[in-house]
Structure 1
């Protein structure tokens, strides 16, 4: 799922959320929205620059920060029903369709119904798609029984027995968990739950839950675990490690699905600058070399020099030496 689409959905809901929860703290809001406090701050900064046409200081969304609490002081109309323009409706439709691809985040039937209603209201379900009923006639997204069971257990407050595949240990384990919530981290849906065998809160990635069975007992995680915000520190960059800024060609954009990269800046030609932490300069140099011209180190300079020297040494190893003259 696109991180842009995910953020769009979150931003559209944040102003009414803060109005419904006056003077909520950053930690509480981040926990309920399923994001880190750092991401919440970035979202608030983004909202601060949105508002009504004209975009003067009196037209923009405004917040009051008192200590660690947040209040909406001007909503710029986002607390009223929206009349969507065609581009706005398209953006929401893209986000909804993207959400359907993440198991467990939404009820596929509910999302499909919302898509059909938005298309009909915005007039986008006509023409080439064959009329206003086109969206309704589309087949519903198929949700696995496992994802439906997990989402249902979270909604109904039931305990779960799951079979979970650990990619880091290449093992399949069975455990009973008490679901707390579903969170979205780095474009993947996770079940946050109290694991009874580990006696601690764990995050279980939806696509690695092989099987799930809803138990005939209530979910009963310890209250401190429920009140605490989701611990996504495992997915955050380690500040003690160096970070490299890489220029990644659009042909290598698939890297973002497999490596812990953070987008720094998107470029007009489809390439982007991204940051990646590393523990070993030698390993990082070999990593970059493996992508050839599709990835280039912008900084630090020492790493760029090492990659350049390694590439030059590799080329020299393939140079054809001239034949000796004169026998």
Structure 2
């Protein structure tokens, strides 16, 4: 039997299964553990060598789990797995307030980019952690500090999910970065989707008379209406198939060259492609719905951004830059 390739994710999953398995059964032969895990014995031995480097914080010899490798590798060994200094793994985990806070913050950050199935698991874990932390400390709830989006964004997402499930229309006050303006519109929600670490409402927009994605952290206000949706009910889009920002006849693809000081653009605005260039520069493709918005962005970035294409945008930006300089004449 050949050894299966082991990725880090699969190896962690095996170790999390192997340690409780050994604790429950005591001494287990290497071949029996391999059969129980469904992997070759060579793979279990490789996992046990990784287990030697695991343990409590500190990293001193007394902190690390010990595995008797001689019994598994030496010719005179009996092939029985013996794991010691890991008794704490059989006891319920007790977290300090600092440890609990760190885990809560990490879970809430993960929640923002998780799919529906993962989000449900994360929410259950958060509820248990916060309840346990509150019970142990006498506090109402551990304060995880500043979290991207905060509680308001979590409530907004919950309201929009309920509106989608009840097929109720929603009135949005929404910031449109491509036009640098606030807009108000009535939408028929289809569901919540996530992509590239951001959460979106997928909905039919009656102002645009077309489906649109609304990033939740750009929603200034949302009011669930009593009126039912009037568009055809459809499930939210699978962004892995359709792409996050599909092109339309109303948009133009612009290519910019950004110096290191302007690299933040790719983190804040939707980009189609990013290509590294020498000196830390980037060449990026952006979908532009309004040329005036692009001019304002470029003036903010000057002198750290240049238009590569289309040529007409490069000329109009140069003219706008000259006009701005004339104001200082």
TM-score (normalised: structure 1):
0.42
Larger Rg: 1 or 2? Answer: 2
Higher relative contact order (CA 8 A, sep 6+): 1
